[in-house]
């Protein structure tokens, strides 16, 4: 059966809505990360890639609550093809369908004859190789951040269901050194990027912050933009900060490791559940915004938000000072 484009879109939306509504009731999920540092090639790049790698690990552990053991770093000579495969295998032993895998590519990419390669010590691996490795891990959700030049060429290969793929460039032909990851790290380190004020940084928020900063950088420098960061959400079409489809998965996945709020107070538990459901309804309403008049949308949104705000007050009152 071939679904019409609209029908497929609706199916995706329904699937995602279900994910949003169910997500809150799942057990605590773990997040694991693999940071791959490619060969630098020059002292300047070595300094930059080291800084990016160290900062990434520091943010994951110190800011987002990753257990140190859940962050694997392979750089330069430690990041040969065999080492990388072994690292993916090891991670695969530890994670399950409820967990989220983050993979960071920091280094140089190459794009030749239609094929992207991440440059490592020894024989390089292709996008297809990495896609297989990510799939083999078996995490419920995967986030792949590729900060290299030409990284756009790997996007289609890596994109797929339950994956968010972020690349610094739109295509393999954007070969210049990239600035994207500097701003991506800035996003992970500032609450300014926390668009929804939930004190968590989602993949979408970090991507949006960094992409706008890259655009602003090239505009202010009066230079032709040599990179156009892209994101593919749950196998959907890649795009920038104004995607055609709402990037639900990227909005949903935070860098912050999940924490479970536990309470013995049944009233408070009920309020927390009510809040969760209201948030889910607001999320669902946003997804169907285009299907109703703006005034009707605002009216329904306002009702839900007022209810949410009042519930929040009750929760705070119940929790005490």
Partner 1 sequence: MKRAKLEPGAARMTFLAVLAIVWSGCGALGQTESPGRETYAEEAARLAPLVESGDAAADIVEDLYFAWIRSGQYALARSRFEELAAEHPNSGAIGLAAARAIRGVGDYERALLGLEPIISYADVGVGVGVGVAALHEKAAVLRDVGRREESDEIYSDLLNRFLDGFIRGGPDLLYVVRAMWALDQFHDANDLFRVIAQGDPNNAEVFLAWGDLLAEKYNDEEAVASYQDALALDPNMPEAHLGIARLLAATNPEQSKAALETALAVNPNFIEAHLFRAERRIGTEEYDVADGIIESVLAVNPRSAHALALLATTHYLRDDESEFERYVAEVLGTNPSYSEMYFILAERCVNVRQYAKAVEFAREAILLDPRHWKAYNLLGINLLRIGEEEEGLASLETSYDNDPFNIWTVNTLTLIDSLEDFDRIETEHFRIKLHKEEREALEPYVTDLLEEVYDTLTTKYEFIPDGPITFEMYPDHEDFAVRTLGLPGLGGLGVSFGKVIVMDSPSARPPESFNWGSTLWHEFAHVITLQITDHRIPRWFSEGISVYEERRARPGWGDDLGMDFLLAIQADQFLPIAELNNGFVRPDNPGQISLSYYQASLVCEYIDEQHGFDAIRQMLALFKDGRNTEQALREVLRLGFAEFDDAFSGWVESRTGGIDVEAFRTLLQDGHQAFGDGDLDRTVELLTEAVEAYPEYTSEFNPYETLADVYVQQGDTSSAIAVLDEFISYSEYAYGTYLQLAGLLVEAGELGGAIDVLNLALYVHPLDLDGHRELGSALLTEERYEAAVREYQTLIALKTPDLADTYFKLATAQFSTGDRTGARRSILRSLEIAPSFEAAQELLLRIAGRGNL
Task: List the one residue out of 143, 214, 131 whose CA is nearest residue 176.
Answer: 214
> By CB under 8 A, is residue 220 in contact with partner 1?
yes
Rounded CA gap, 115 and 111, in Å? Answer: 5
Phi first, then psi, for residue 109 (nearest 5°) are -115, 160
- Considering only the stretches 46-54, 146-154, 162-170, 273-281, report the one whose residues sit in contact with partner 1 under the rule CB under 8 A: 273-281
Rounded CA gap, 136 and 140, in Å? Answer: 11
Chain centre distance of CA 46? 25
Eight-state DSSP code of residue 76: G
> By CB under 8 A, is residue 124 in contact with partner 1?
no
> By CB under 8 A, is residue 212 in contact with partner 1?
yes
CB closer to partner 1, 75 vs 281? 281
State which of positions 288-307 bind partner 1 (CB under 8 A).
298, 301-302, 305-306
To partner 1, the closest distance from the beta carbon of 263 in angstroms equals 17
Degrees to nearest 5, angle at CA 73 with 72 and 78 = 120
**Site track 153-192 with partner 1 (rule: CB under 8 A), x = hit:** ----------------------------------x----x
Query: Token pair 């505009």 is at which residue?
Result: 219
Element (H, E) at 114: none
> By CB under 8 A, is residue 279 in contact with partner 1?
yes
Query: Token pair 């900062």 is at which residue?
Result: 55
> By CB under 8 A, is residue 317 in contact with partner 1?
no
State the chain's maximal CA–CA distance in angstroms. Answer: 63
CB closer to partner 1, 119 vs 304? 304
CB closer to partner 1, 17 vs 241? 241
- Considering only the stretches 40-48, 89-97, 216-224, 257-265, report the one whose residues sit in contact with partner 1 under the rule CB under 8 A: 216-224
User: Is there a contact between 193 and 206 (Cβ–Cβ < 8 Å)?
Assistant: yes
**Site track 59-98 with partner 1 (rule: CB under 8 A), x = hit:** ----------------------------------------
CB closer to partner 1, 17 vs 81? 17
> By CB under 8 A, is residue 47 in contact with partner 1?
no
The DSSP bridge partners found for residue 212 are none
- Considering only the stretches 38-46, 111-119, 259-267, 310-318, report the one whose residues sit in contact with partner 1 under the rule CB under 8 A: 310-318
Phi-psi region of 308 (alpha: psi -120 to 50; beta: other; left: phi over 0): alpha
> By CB under 8 A, is residue 312 in contact with partner 1?
yes
State which of positions 233-252 bind partner 1 (CB under 8 A).
241
- Please enumerate in sequence order all residues whose Cβ is within 8 A of that of 237, keeping only pairs 6 or more positions apart, or say none: 243, 244, 245
- Tell me, by CB under 8 A, how many residues bind partner 1: 34
Rounded CA gap, 247 and 303, in Å? Answer: 25
> By CB under 8 A, is residue 321 in contact with partner 1?
no
Rounded CA gap, 109 and 169, in Å? Answer: 11
CB closer to partner 1, 81 vs 305? 305
State which of positions 27-46 bind partner 1 (CB under 8 A).
none
The site for partner 1 (CB under 8 A) is made up of 187, 192-198, 205, 208-209, 212-213, 216, 219-222, 241, 275, 278-279, 282, 286, 298, 301-302, 305-306, 308-310, 312-313
């Amino acid at each position: 059966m071939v679904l019409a484009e609209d029908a497929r879109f609706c199916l995706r939306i329904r699937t995602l809505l279900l994910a949003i509504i169910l997500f809150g009731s799942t057990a605590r999920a773990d997040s694991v990360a693999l940071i791959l540092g490619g060969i630098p090639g020059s002292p300047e790049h070595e300094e930059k890639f080291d800084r990016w790698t160290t900062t990434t690990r520091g943010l994951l552990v110190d800011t987002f609550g990753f257990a140190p053991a859940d962050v694997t770093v392979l750089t330069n000579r430690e990041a040969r093809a065999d080492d990388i495969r072994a690292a993916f295998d090891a991670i695969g032993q530890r994670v399950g369908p409820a967990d989220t895998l983050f993979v960071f590519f920091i280094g140089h990419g190459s794009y030749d004859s239609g094929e992207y390669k991440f440059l490592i010590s020894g024989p390089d691996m292709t996008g297809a190789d990495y896609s297989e490795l990510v799939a083999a891990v078996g995490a419920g959700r995967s986030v792949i951040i590729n900060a290299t030049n030409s990284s756009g060429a790997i996007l289609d290969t890596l994109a797929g269901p339950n994956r968010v793929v972020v690349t610094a460039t739109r295509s393999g032909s954007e070969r210049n050194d990239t600035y994207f990851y500097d701003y991506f790290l800035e996003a992970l380190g500032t609450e300014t990027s926390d668009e929804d004020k939930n004190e968590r940084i989602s993949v979408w928020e970090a991507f949006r912050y960094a992409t706008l900063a890259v655009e602003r950088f090239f505009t202010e420098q009066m230079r032709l933009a040599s990179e156009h960061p892209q994101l593919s959400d749950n196998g959907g079409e890649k795009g920038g900060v104004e995607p055609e489809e709402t990037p639900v998965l990227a909005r949903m996945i935070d860098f912050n490791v999940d924490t479970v709020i536990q309470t013995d107070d049944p009233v408070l538990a009920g309020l927390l559940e009510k809040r969760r459901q209201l948030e889910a309804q607001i999320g669902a309403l946003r997804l169907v915004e285009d299907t109703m008049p703006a005034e009707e949308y605002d009216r329904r949104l306002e009702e839900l938000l007022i209810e949410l705000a009042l519930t929040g007050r009750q929760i705070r009152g119940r929790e005490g000072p």
